[in-house]
């Protein structure tokens, strides 16, 4: 886990005069599951294609195991890609698709055969060797695409929104499957997605991007619990984001009240942004609450109720397993560790 | 609704003007002037087998040259930016919209003994070369007239090849030659087949190009047919027989070719 | 690599356009020579516009194209609708027969129609030209309308019936608008093929009616004046203008579509 395998240094990419990746620095370790996460157009796919060799950066360097590989063409790189829409070869059957890379390397026939069948077993497609690509379901095509890349035993596997075309149920299954494959093969995965839940479920490290710039790098827990700015907080799950002011260490004011918190290191009286996750707001009787609000709406979401409470100059989003009645007045409590303080976005820039 | 299909008028038209004429050709081919059955026309058509072979030979050469020129062009076209692509495809089609007589006429003025090319060579003290009225000129005329017919089907099939499939092949270790051989070529086989058909059929049956660029000495099978119907040799019975032979030959070529093509697609 | 492909494109396009360029340049040449430049003139254009034969045949070409285009579009669209509701066996038979004039060498179609007309004792002229042109145009209409019918949402027709249309009205109100692009493509193809056709017309025309390509053919045979170059130039510019107009219109549609998409985002 400590060996650096891929390193991006000050990468910039321009398309038609527009900067899609801006001064990007990223270090990826051996055996790591890294996810590049962000909305469409944030530069995550471009970053992946820089590593794969399909886009050459306008500035900056790409290192692979310490060697600069800017000028190495895709077919000579030790990485393989699972493409967004699979990009399977329509003229070849499942076996020949998976064997493609090995045949290009001119490996011994028997070795090809054993490696392909081993790989098809791993992705659960044994017995499908002779099927045409058109006869497969989306999920099966997905597995072929993964097998076709993995069979070459790349040091790094690049996955570009590989589950984007699948339905919800299948996507969940494949998330678990992919994680299992990554752990059993020990290959570094670099995974691109715009689905925050997917990123949190599978990754060792999440890289949140926006407008070609990295916003935050961290473990899923870090990213969720300690978002560095409002964009990350908002993108990773739903949240209440309020303007506030830091009196001093461990004491913050927002929504017209003072709260204890666990953050420090801000300037005295510094204006900050406060993030509160909807599930961290506890509903209590009105007199016990630090804040009060009137319930505006209640929607049943299966696991919990999603409620909006209007009070103290803000519409609070609350997730709770017990429902309050619409129109009722409630109290809200926040524990110090549920209050996340961030630098104001304008200042952070 | 059911009783009267809207296709009936066309069906009548089809039977009278597509099916019946072909049957009449067959009838003429097997009868003599008095209307009696005979095989004489067919056996007489056999005399022209050297001409037929020459037609096939020249058309085949022209088709191969078209394929060689068009294949890289279509590939380059299919991989350029969409906006440029549309313009370039338009440029490929534009000459097709000019009547082929005019295009062939243009080559006459270029290749003539005192034409532009020979005058150009003359500046360097070369020539004049005998370019018009040669087999080469006929092949050139075919290539020039039918090249777009090869480019367009190839282009339209290659344009459908997903860019990410090509990237996938590179990703899996193919050099650009490897990508060509292992992915682009097998995927473009249908385009190659229809391109070859679209060039070979008009080329083998042409009678204008050979007349204009080949002079009197390079008559092709089309010219012979023309002579039987509208020329001095007027003999529609013999003409029909030759036409029938030509049609059977083309159908035969195409079916053999299609079979070969299918096998190849499976092998690759 | 990039440079190499540009060079290649350049060479092929030079091959395609050089002869046309030569024609155009010599349409302005003073002398009759087709290879020596003696000076600029517009005489050939003036002569061209006083040439009765050419003007007549141009008129014949356009009128035949229009008649053949309209008739074959109606005939072909109706045929496509009928064919698409046929059972598999007859449908394949009809479609394969329809392919015959497209697949067969043109010379065969021409010769066979010529024999038919002499068999039926119809004198070759305007009428035979019109019939022949309709015959080779209909397949193109059918083949461009059929796919549109296949892609069409059949429930729209049923919805129209459900909302009170008679089958006839439902067809014109619900089906025709959906297959309109195919019909238009077919019509344009018919026009183009009709205007451009030489081989088939050559066999079915008589001295009473000649289309422009036939006139051009007799001009090239006689190897006469650069009027033919002037004619080529005009035709080329006409085609170029039409294509450019289509292109500009397409580009506008594209631009608007992109704008709309951008607005939606």
Residue C22 is nearest to which of B28, B77, B106, comparing CB atoms? B106
CA distance C264 to chain B (A): 22
* Confidence band, pLDDT 50/70/90 cuts, at residue B2: very low
Contact yes or no for C243 and B90 at CB 8 A: yes
Contact yes or no for A89 and B169 at CB 8 A: yes
Q: Which of C199, C139, C119 is nearest to B26 (CA)?
A: C119
CA distance A84 to chain B (A): 9
Contact yes or no for C105 and B205 at CB 8 A: yes
How many CB pairs below 8 A link A and B? 66
Residue A75 is nearest to which of B173, B183, B186, comparing CB atoms? B173
Residue C82 is nearest to which of B7, B97, B243, comparing CB atoms? B7
Residue A75 is nearest to which of B164, B165, B170, comparing CB atoms? B170
Residue B171 is nearest to which of A80, A90, A105, comparing CB atoms? A80
- For B213, phi and psi rounded to 5 degrees? -105, -20
Q: How many residues does chain C have?
A: 265
**A117-168: per-residue pLDDT in tens?**
999 998 889 999 999 998 999 889 989 999 999 999 999 999 999 988 788 8
User: Which two three-digit tokens encode residue B261?
Assistant: 């093509």
**C71-92: per-residue pLDDT in tens?**
999 999 999 999 988 888 999 9
Contact yes or no for C100 and B73 at CB 8 A: no
Helices (H), chain B: 8-14, 20-29, 40-45, 49-78, 82-93, 100-111, 116-123, 135-159, 163-171, 176-179, 185-187, 189-204, 208-214, 221-230, 236-267
Q: Is the pLDDT of residue A317 over 60?
A: yes
Question: What's the average model confidence in pLDDT over B153-158?
Answer: 94
Alpha carbon distance C116, B21 (integer Å): 5
Looking at residue C260, its pLDDT comes to 66
DSSP state letters, A193-214 = ES-HHHHHHH-SEEEEEETTEE
Contact yes or no for B250 and C34 at CB 8 A: no
Q: Computed over its alpha carbons, how large is the radius of gyration of chain B? A: 23
CA distance A157 to chain B (A): 11
DSSP state of C123: P
SS3 B232: coil
Q: Is the pLDDT of residue C58 over 60?
A: yes
Looking at residue A306, its pLDDT comes to 92
Residue C107 is nearest to which of B102, B108, B222, comparing CB atoms? B222
User: Which two three-digit tokens encode residue C43?
Assistant: 């005489």
C contact residues 72-91, partner B, Cβ 8 Å cutoff: 75-76, 78-83, 85-86
Please report residues of C whose CB lies closer than 8 A to that of B77.
Answer: 9
Alpha carbon distance B3, C83 (integer Å): 14
Nearest CA in chain C to B28: C115
DSSP state of C87: -
Q: Does B173 touch chain A if contact means CB atoms closer than 8 Å?
A: yes
Neighbours of chain C (3+ CB pairs under 8 A): B
Q: Does B187 touch chain A if contact means CB atoms closer than 8 Å?
A: yes
Q: Which of B190, B193, B211, B204 is nearest to B249 (CA)?
A: B204
Q: Which of A86-90, A220-224, C1-5 has the lowest mean pLDDT?
A: C1-5
**B106-146: per-residue pLDDT in tens?**
898 899 888 888 888 888 888 778 888 999 999 999 999 99
Nearest CA in chain B to C22: B106
**C141-182: per-residue pLDDT in tens?**
999 999 999 888 878 888 888 888 888 888 888 889 889 999
Q: Which of C195, C199, C186 is nearest to C105 (CA)?
A: C199
CA distance C217 to chain B (A): 7
Looking at residue A30, its pLDDT comes to 92
CA distance C116 to chain B (A): 5
Looking at residue B1, its pLDDT comes to 42
The dihedral sign for the CA sequence C40, C45, C46, C52: positive
User: Are C233 and C240 in contact, with CB atoms under 8 Å apart?
Assistant: no
Q: Which of B13, B206, A309 is nearest to C198 (CA)?
A: B206
Alpha carbon distance A217, A205 (integer Å): 7
Contact yes or no for A89 and B168 at CB 8 A: yes
User: Are A340 and A274 in contact, with CB atoms under 8 Å apart?
Assistant: yes
Residue C115 is nearest to which of B21, B76, B114, comparing CB atoms? B21
Contact yes or no for A75 and B171 at CB 8 A: yes
pLDDT averaged over every residue in chain A: 90
**pTM for the complete prediction?**
0.82
Q: Which residues pair with A138 in a beta bridge?
A: none
* Confidence band, pLDDT 50/70/90 cuts, at residue B260: low
Alpha carbon distance B15, B21 (integer Å): 9
Looking at residue A345, its pLDDT comes to 66
CA distance B75 to chain A (A): 18
**A234-287: per-residue pLDDT in tens?**
888 888 988 999 888 888 999 888 898 888 888 888 889 898 999 999 999 988
Q: Does B262 touch chain A if contact means CB atoms closer than 8 Å?
A: no
Neighbours of chain B (3+ CB pairs under 8 A): A, C
Nearest CA in chain B to A150: B172
CA distance B201 to chain C (A): 6
Q: Choose which CATH entry (1.10.3720.10, 1.10.30.50, 1.10.357.10, 1.20.1440.120) describes domain C54-249.
A: 1.10.3720.10
Looking at residue C263, its pLDDT comes to 58
CA distance C135 to chain B (A): 7
Nearest CA in chain B to A157: B171
User: Which two three-digit tokens encode residue A209?
Assistant: 């991007």
Contact yes or no for C20 and B95 at CB 8 A: yes
Looking at residue B142, its pLDDT comes to 96
Contact yes or no for C23 and B9 at CB 8 A: no
**C14-41: per-residue pLDDT in tens?**
999 999 999 899 889 888 877 778 889 8
Contact yes or no for A81 and B168 at CB 8 A: yes
Question: What's the average model confidence in pLDDT over C100-113?
Answer: 92
A4-230 folds as Rossmann fold (3.40.50)
Residue B173 is nearest to which of A88, A91, A101, comparing CB atoms? A101
Q: Which of B38, B36, B24, B35 is nearest to B240 (CA)?
A: B24
Q: Is the pLDDT of residue A1 over 70?
A: no
Alpha carbon distance C190, C14 (integer Å): 30
Contact yes or no for C119 and B24 at CB 8 A: yes
Q: Which of B29, B48, B22 is nearest to B221 (CA)?
A: B48
Q: Are strands A314-320 and A305-311 parallel, antiparallel or unpaired?
A: antiparallel
Looking at residue B265, its pLDDT comes to 45
DSSP state of C85: T
Q: Is the pLDDT of residue A89 over 80?
A: yes
Q: Which of A58-62, A106-110, A126-130, B212-216 has the lowest mean pLDDT?
A: B212-216
The ranges assigned to domains in chain A are: 4-230, 238-348
DSSP state of A133: G
User: Are C145 and C83 in contact, with CB atoms under 8 Å apart?
Assistant: no
> Where do the CATH 1.10.3720.10 domains begin and end in chain C?
54-249
Question: What's the average model confidence in pLDDT over B44-69?
Answer: 94
How many CB pairs below 8 A link B and C? 201
Looking at residue C232, its pLDDT comes to 84
Q: Which of B198, B12, B193, B199 is nearest to C138 (CA)?
A: B12
**B206-241: per-residue pLDDT in tens?**
998 999 898 878 889 999 999 999 888 889 999 999
Q: Does C131 touch chain B if contact means CB atoms closer than 8 Å?
A: yes
* Confidence band, pLDDT 50/70/90 cuts, at residue B70: very high
Question: What's the average model confidence in pLDDT over C188-202?
Answer: 93
Going along chain B from its start, the domains and CATH numbers come out as 31-267 (1.10.3720.10)
The dihedral sign for the CA sequence C239, C241, C243, C245: negative
Looking at residue B148, its pLDDT comes to 94
Q: Is the pLDDT of residue B266 over 50?
A: no
HSE at residue B137, side-chain half, CA atoms within 13 A, is 29
Nearest CA in chain A to B162: A87
Nearest CA in chain B to C193: B97
User: Are B212 and B185 in contact, with CB atoms under 8 Å apart?
Assistant: no
Q: Does B49 touch chain A if contact means CB atoms closer than 8 Å?
A: no
Q: Roughly how many angstroms between the first and final C-alpha of chain B, as a whole number?
A: 49
Q: Which residues pair with A206 in a beta bridge?
A: A35, A218
Q: Does B263 touch chain A if contact means CB atoms closer than 8 Å?
A: no
Contact yes or no for B201 and C105 at CB 8 A: yes
Interface-testing mutation among B8, B99, B133, B239, with chain C (most C C-beta atoms within 10 A) = B99
User: Are C177 and C148 in contact, with CB atoms under 8 Å apart?
Assistant: no
Match 């804040």 to its residue by tokens. Answer: A291
Give me the interface pTM, i.e. the ipTM: 0.88
* Confidence band, pLDDT 50/70/90 cuts, at residue C131: very high
């Amino acid at each position: 886990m400590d060996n650096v395998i891929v390193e991006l240094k000050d990468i910039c990419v321009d398309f038609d005069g527009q900067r899609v990746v801006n001064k990007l620095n990223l270090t990826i370790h051996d055996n790591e599951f890294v996810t590049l996460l962000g909305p469409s157009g944030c530069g995550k796919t471009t970053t992946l294609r820089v590593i794969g060799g399909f886009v050459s950066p306008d500035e900056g360097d790409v290192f692979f195991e310490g060697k600069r590989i800017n000028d190495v063409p895709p077919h000579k790189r030790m990485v393989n890609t699972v493409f967004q829409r699979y990009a399977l070869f329509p003229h070849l059957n499942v076996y020949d698709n998976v064997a493609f890379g090995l045949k290009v390397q001119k490996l011994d026939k028997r070795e090809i055969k054993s490696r392909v069948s081993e790989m098809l077993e791993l992705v659960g497609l044994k017995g499908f060797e002779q099927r045409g690509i058109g006869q497969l379901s989306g999920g099966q095509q997905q597995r072929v695409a993964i097998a076709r890349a993995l069979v070459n035993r790349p040091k790094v596997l690049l996955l570009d929104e590989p589950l984007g075309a699948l339905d919800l149920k299948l996507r969940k299954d494949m998330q678990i499957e992919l994680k299992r494959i990554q752990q059993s093969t020990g290959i570094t995965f670099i995974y691109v997605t715009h689905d925050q839940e997917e990123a949190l479920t599978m990754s060792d490290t999440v890289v949140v991007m926006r407008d070609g710039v990295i916003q935050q790098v961290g473990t899923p827990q870090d990213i969720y619990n300690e978002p560095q700015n409002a964009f990350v907080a908002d993108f990773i799950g739903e949240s209440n984001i309020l303007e506030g002011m830091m009196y001093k260490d461990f004491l913050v004011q927002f929504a017209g009240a003072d709260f204890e918190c666990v953050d420090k290191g801000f300037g005295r009286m510094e204006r900050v942004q406060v993030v509160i996750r909807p599930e961290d707001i506890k509903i209590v009787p009105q007199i016990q609450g630090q804040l009060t609000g009137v319930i505006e709406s209640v929607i049943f979401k299966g696991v919990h109720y999603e409620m909006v409470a209007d009070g103290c100059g803000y519409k609070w989003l609350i997730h709770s397993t017990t429902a309050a009645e619409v129109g009722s007045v409630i109290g809200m409590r926040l524990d110090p560790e549920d209050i996340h303080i961030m630098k104001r976005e304008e200042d952070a820039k | 609704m059911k009783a009267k299909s809207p296709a009936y008028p066309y069906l009548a038209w089809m039977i009278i003007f597509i099916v019946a004429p072909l049957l009449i050709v067959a009838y003429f081919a097997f009868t003599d002037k008095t209307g009696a059955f005979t095989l004489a026309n067919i056996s007489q058509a056999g005399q022209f087998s050297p001409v037929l072979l020459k037609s096939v030979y020249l058309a085949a050469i022209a088709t191969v040259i078209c394929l060689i020129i068009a294949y890289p062009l279509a590939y380059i076209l299919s991989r350029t930016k969409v906006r440029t692509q549309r313009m370039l495809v338009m440029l490929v089609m534009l000459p097709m919209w000019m009547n082929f007589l005019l295009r062939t006429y243009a080559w006459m003025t270029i290749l003539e003994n005192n034409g532009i090319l020979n005058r150009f060579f003359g500046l360097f003290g070369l020539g004049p070369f005998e370019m018009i009225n040669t087999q080469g000129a006929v092949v050139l005329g075919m290539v020039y007239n039918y090249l777009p017919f090869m480019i367009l089907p190839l282009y339209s099939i290659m344009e459908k090849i997903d860019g990410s499939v090509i990237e996938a092949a590179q990703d899996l270790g193919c050099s650009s030659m490897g990508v060509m051989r292992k992915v682009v070529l097998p995927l473009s086989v249908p385009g190659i087949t229809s391109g070859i058909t679209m060039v070979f059929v008009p080329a083998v049956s042409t009678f204008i190009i050979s007349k204009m660029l080949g002079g009197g000495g390079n008559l092709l099978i089309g010219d012979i047919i023309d002579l039987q119907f509208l020329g001095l040799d007027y003999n529609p019975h013999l003409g029909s027989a030759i036409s029938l032979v030509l049609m059977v030959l083309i159908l035969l070529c195409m079916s053999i070719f299609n079979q070969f093509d299918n096998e190849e697609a499976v092998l690759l | 690599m990039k440079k190499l492909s540009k060079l290649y494109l350049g060479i092929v396009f030079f091959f395609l356009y050089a002869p046309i360029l030569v024609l155009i340049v010599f349409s302005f040449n003073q002398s009759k020579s087709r290879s020596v430049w003696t000076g600029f003139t517009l005489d050939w254009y003036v002569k061209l516009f006083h040439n009765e034969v050419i003007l007549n045949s141009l008129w014949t070409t356009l009128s035949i194209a229009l008649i053949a285009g309209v008739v074959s579009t109606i005939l072909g669209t109706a045929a496509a609708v009928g064919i698409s509701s046929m059972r598999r066996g007859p449908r394949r038979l009809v479609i394969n027969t329809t392919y015959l004039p497209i697949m067969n060498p043109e010379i065969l179609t021409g010769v066979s129609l010529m024999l038919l007309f002499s068999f039926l004792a119809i004198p070759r002229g305007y009428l035979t030209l019109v019939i022949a042109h309709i015959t080779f145009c209909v397949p193109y209409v059918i083949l461009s309308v059929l796919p549109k019918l296949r892609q069409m949402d059949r429930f729209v027709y049923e919805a129209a019936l459900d909302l009170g249309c008679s089958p006839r009205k439902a067809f014109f109100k619900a089906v025709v608008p959906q297959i309109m692009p195919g019909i238009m493509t077919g019509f344009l193809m018919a026009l183009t093929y009709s205007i451009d056709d030489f081989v088939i017309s050559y066999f079915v025309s008589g001295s009473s009616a000649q289309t422009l390509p036939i006139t051009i053919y007799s001009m090239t045979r006689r190897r006469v004046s650069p009027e033919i170059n002037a004619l080529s130039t005009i035709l080329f510019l006409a085609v170029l203008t039409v294509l450019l107009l289509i292109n500009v219109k397409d580009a506008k549609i594209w631009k608007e579509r992109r704008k709309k998409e951008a607005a939606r985002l």
